[in-house]
Amino acid sequence: MSKLRVMITAAGTGIGAAIARAFADEGHRVHASDIDEEALSRLNDDYPEIVTTPVDVRDEDAIDTWFDDTVDAVDGLDVLVNNAGIAGPTATVEDMDFEGWRECLTVCLDAQFLTCRRAVPLMKDQRSGCIINISSTAGLFGLPFRTPYAAAKWGVIGLTKSLAVEVGRWNIRVNAICPGAVEGDRMDRVIAAESRTSGRSQAELRAEYTKGVSLNRFVRPQEIAALALFLASPAAAMISGQAIAVDGNTETYHTE
């Protein structure tokens, strides 16, 4: 596979960092952004070849500047990975504040629109490109107490499928990856928040999450990265408009 020009949001830690490392390990030219400058610095310590830029994806101007600088440096774009997201508030819908709802949709959905809006003209000009939007299995099933997050992730799938139809004739492919429960700090925070809301212990909730997965464990970030790398490869040349779960076959979600 020829060397690709890759832009990834929220690549300082977790899934985003795993994706950045996977592309860099294959020799691709990776440009990573994140709101967390310390996380980007740690990524650079391990991978000095990755170009890192602090970007708050809630800021349209910051996204535009990142795209302008990156495209000037590499003269095009082959792969965009939209990974930025937040867990959003954990509460019943009647106790949900609108500010928390809006922020979750802004980071998880609006930011993907803003980056796609910049990436598509570049990919049309070269008549090729691959956009990978990170959704969630919450975008495939309902998720009680997490309505903003689930709504945003369903929106990501709608964006993905609609955009794939719109840009296919320029040989641009658009797919969504839907991770299940991914091991790491973020999932730890989600379980802690759900514990506070539901009154159930973190150990009980973690066991319930795991029990609902046929393969009986959480997803590893590297497994999400492996799919991203495949979707960007020639082997996936006829895969577009898909929402692909990487979840070990998640069978159930919490209902209490």
- For the question of whether the overall pTM of this predicted structure is more than 0.75, the answer is yes
The CATH homologous superfamily to which domain 5-182+220-246 belongs is: NAD(P)-binding Rossmann-like Domain (3.40.50.720)
User: Which residue ranges make up each domain of the chain?
Assistant: 5-182+220-246
Is 149 one of the catalytic residues?
yes
Which residues, 6+ apart, have CB-to-CB distance to 13 below 8 Å?
Answer: 34, 36, 39, 184, 185
- Over residues 146-181, the pLDDT tens digits come to 999 999 999 999 999 999 999 999 999 999 999 998
For the chain, where are the E strands, in sequence order? 5-8, 29-34, 51-54, 79-82, 129-134, 172-179, 243-246
- Over residues 51-78, the pLDDT tens digits come to 999 999 999 999 999 999 999 999 999 9
